[in-house]
Structure 1
Amino acid sequence: MRWGVPIAAAAVIGAAIGAGPVIAAVSGDPVLPERSAEQLLADAAAAAKKAGGPPQMSGTVQQTASLGLPALPSQGGSASPLAMLSGSREIKVWYGAEDRLRVALPGQMSETNLIVNGDQAWYWDSGTNTATKVKLPAEGEQSQAKPVPSPTDLTPQQVAQGFLDRVDDSTGVSVTNTAEVAGRAAYQLVLTPKAQGSLVQEVRLALDGENYMPLQVQVFAKGSAEPAFQVGFTQVTFTAPAAENFAFTPPAGAKVEEQDLGKLGGQQPEHGKEAEKAAGDVKVVGEGWTTVAVLPFKPGAQKPEEQKPGEQKPDEQKSGSSEAQALTAILEQATPVSGAWGSGKMIKTKLVTALLTDDGRLLAGAVTPDELVKVAGQ
């Protein structure tokens, strides 16, 4: 796992968290003052734009995906995008200020930590016994190799905002005032798509009862009684974390590396350039609940690189190989399809459908296969 991934995760998690004083525990279901759906939508929008940043806190975020995919090979860390397609994982976070935060990503037999303290950051990987010291750019210093890029990090507020942005005449909205998440009383907004082509049955957003910040997001697929995807706090405490949480000294015997982002200037890692180019090639078709993303896809790019007998690969190559194996496992479940648009393979899950065309396109969305075929023919 490259250091840029956990740094981005930490920054986004820190920015995503927002809550006020802890609401006292109650017996039975909490009951909050009644508010209409329109009022809650306005409150949520105002909370997202609130100045001053999040409060000091510590907590645990858990993300669970049950899309009906086959068991995937181990990804060697919970930050892998493909690792988020199945199973459950958690992130522990401590937030003291914009430049004082820590994120821990527990693994099966190891743990990675990012500790940001002032203009420096440590990335500790117990699995490889490697500590990377990262000096962040000084104020006003420019660097294209940003310490806080904007990947799609799965935090309650980030995910909730994506759904809130879709609320329009194509969405039914209702609200209850008796939810409870991580010991906090919460309102629950229920968003119901009206579009027949969407695979989403409903989305439940739990908003904090005092400050209206999202504490949990549950996405239900049509025909399913349990959420196909869920992300939310399981524990949260809104007090200043102890200073020791942001102090780090590499253990004896650990491999220590250094990276100064301020000195990278206009340089950008090759993998960053590739990701930027791929993002620029994405075309979005449709709107709202039936949006479909279309981007170039190289047939065979999913095949893992062959390893010679006795060869030891660097950690990043091993990680890339496991991701390729996971993608191969998913593609093995694909069904051959064809039509006037051409031919390809269709991958169907409870919540997402993807079409890989033989002419080099990948179409994906939370839509029915018929919707993808329509877009493929345009």
Structure 2
Amino acid sequence: MRTGKLVRWGVPVAAAAVIGAAVAAGPVIAAVGSDPVLPERTASQLLADAAAAAERQSGIQPMSGTVTKTASLGLPALPGADAAGGDSPLALLTGAHEVKVWYGSGERFRLALPGEMSEKNLIVNGGQAWLWDSASNTATRLKIDLGPQAKHTPPTPQPTDMTPQQVAEKVLADAEQHSTVSVTNTDQVAGRAVYQVSLAPKDPSTLVKEIKVALDGETYVPLRVQIYAKDSAEPAFEVGFTQLSFAPPAEENFTFTPPAGVTVKDQTITGAELAKTDRMDDMPALKTVGQGWSTVAVVPFELPSDAQAKQAVDSFLKGATPVSGTWGSGRLIKTKLLTALLTDDGRVLVGAVTPDKLTELAGSR
């Protein structure tokens, strides 16, 4: 973890959120109200407790559970999303998706992506890894070859490697600069008592009404994140556990034998390929304008060559609104949480801000 020890307690939800965005429909997550079962904490005390817990645990503790992600962003219908399947990039932008996870250690974990009539599994057990796809009836044996020159470089100390109190004070100071922060201790997620930290933006130009982060009352692991748009009672985006156990998963969850009749393939991933994924050389030059909740990302843009991606872009642009200003002209799209502007001079500006704010920031170079 290159961003400090405090980040470690966020890994289970962060990892599951990325994978969980690749699966079939599941129910919307709902908090279950209950009588207070946790000691009261201020936001500062809670963040200090979370940092101290991360220090004690020195990583992710064994766990298993089910994570559900829901998105209701108000996007237009995406062509090809249904045909591409529930785990396609286009299908991830709407609806509900689910992933099951078993975590024993950094070298022993399993992710299951259930579909309507199929399931995909990634099983890692020490030096052996399998990717099992029941729909195609194939099992791929994965091997990572780092090469003779490969060396493991431990993470270097970061500014966040401080005392829990210092971490809490810094995080809270940054949050309170742009948000109103509050804590409740009366909610449950996946049957576990949680503290819920709420961040309400002070900036009137943002589309975000509130962000809620639920922290397990015992381990301080984040169990759910909800993002609410203005004028909406339900989350526009939500990811969290619907079932969770911190008991070590059974060993059988990390073993896999290809069933009879399955096509077995072998794939080697080299150290050079892994290094290439870490490089930012080929990424478009990204810059930001604005600050706090009004921060907007600006990247160069060219129409994609991939037919499906180009079709999706064209579909978006059909519903776009022509706009212009001192910065030039372009086409603007607004969803519940994000506004995007594609300028005629080849830029894309995206932020959780109102259209007026986005076009105002379009003139910032």
Paired residues for 1:285-300 under 5 Å: 285-299=289-303
Tell me which residue corresponds to 1:95: 103
Change in Cα spacing, 1:244 to 1:198, as seen in structure 2 (3 Å) is same
Change in Cα spacing, 1:252 to 1:203, as seen in structure 2 (3 Å) is same
Change in Cα spacing, 1:282 to 1:13, as seen in structure 2 (3 Å) is same
Query: C-alpha displacement at 1:16, in angstroms?
Result: 5.6
Query: C-alpha displacement at 1:327, in angstroms?
Result: 4.0
Tell me which residue corresponds to 1:331: 317
Tell me which residue corresponds to 1:43: 49
Q: Would the aligned equivalents of 1:205 and 1:216 in 2 still touch at CA under 8 Å?
A: yes
Query: C-alpha displacement at 1:75, in angstroms?
Result: 7.0
* TM-score between both structures, scaled by the size of structure 2: 0.78
Name stretches of at least 5 consecutive residues in structure 2 with no aligned partner.
1-9, 17-31, 153-170
Comparing 193-202 with 130-139, greater Cα deviation is found at 130-139
CA distance in 2, matches of 1:28, 1:268: 46
Tell me which residue corresponds to 2:74: 68
Deviations along 1:274-319, one digit per CA (max 9) or x if unpaired, are x8445451112233211111111103x2x753xxxxxxxxxxxxxx
Q: Which amino acid aligns with 1:93?
A: V
Change in Cα spacing, 1:102 to 1:77, as seen in structure 2 (3 Å) is farther
CA distance in 2, matches of 1:278, 1:241: 39
Paired residues for 1:158-169 under 5 Å: 167-169=175-177
SS of 2:58 mapped into structure 1:
coil
Give identity over the alignment, percent: 57
Q: Would the aligned equivalents of 1:205 and 1:217 in 2 still touch at CA under 8 Å?
A: yes
Deviations along 1:235-290, one digit per CA (max 9) or x if unpaired, are 011212221211112233333222223xx2434698x59x8445451112233211
Deviations along 1:209-245, one digit per CA (max 9) or x if unpaired, are 1122211111111111111111110001121222121
Name stretches of at least 5 consecutive residues in structure 1 with no aligned partner.
1-10, 18-25, 145-162, 306-320
SS of 1:169 mapped into structure 2:
helix
CA distance in 1, matches of 2:232, 2:13: 32
CA distance in 2, matches of 1:206, 1:325: 38
CA distance in 2, matches of 1:371, 1:110: 45
Q: Which amino acid aligns with 1:343?
A: S
* TM-score between both structures, scaled by the size of structure 1: 0.75
Paired residues for 1:57-206 under 5 Å: 57-72=63-78, 73-74=81-82, 76=84, 80-137=88-145, 142=150, 167-206=175-214
Change in Cα spacing, 1:359 to 1:114, as seen in structure 2 (3 Å) is same
Tell me which residue corresponds to 2:3: none
Deviations along 1:83-135, one digit per CA (max 9) or x if unpaired, are 33210101100111111100011223322110001012111122322222111
Comparing 355-364 with 106-115, greater Cα deviation is found at 106-115
Q: Would the aligned equivalents of 1:63 and 1:88 in 2 still touch at CA under 8 Å?
A: yes
Q: Would the aligned equivalents of 1:137 and 1:143 in 2 still touch at CA under 8 Å?
A: no
Change in Cα spacing, 1:84 to 1:75, as seen in structure 2 (3 Å) is farther
Tell me which residue corresponds to 2:167: none
SS of 2:345 mapped into structure 1:
coil
Tell me which residue corresponds to 2:247: 239
CA distance in 2, matches of 1:205, 1:345: 34
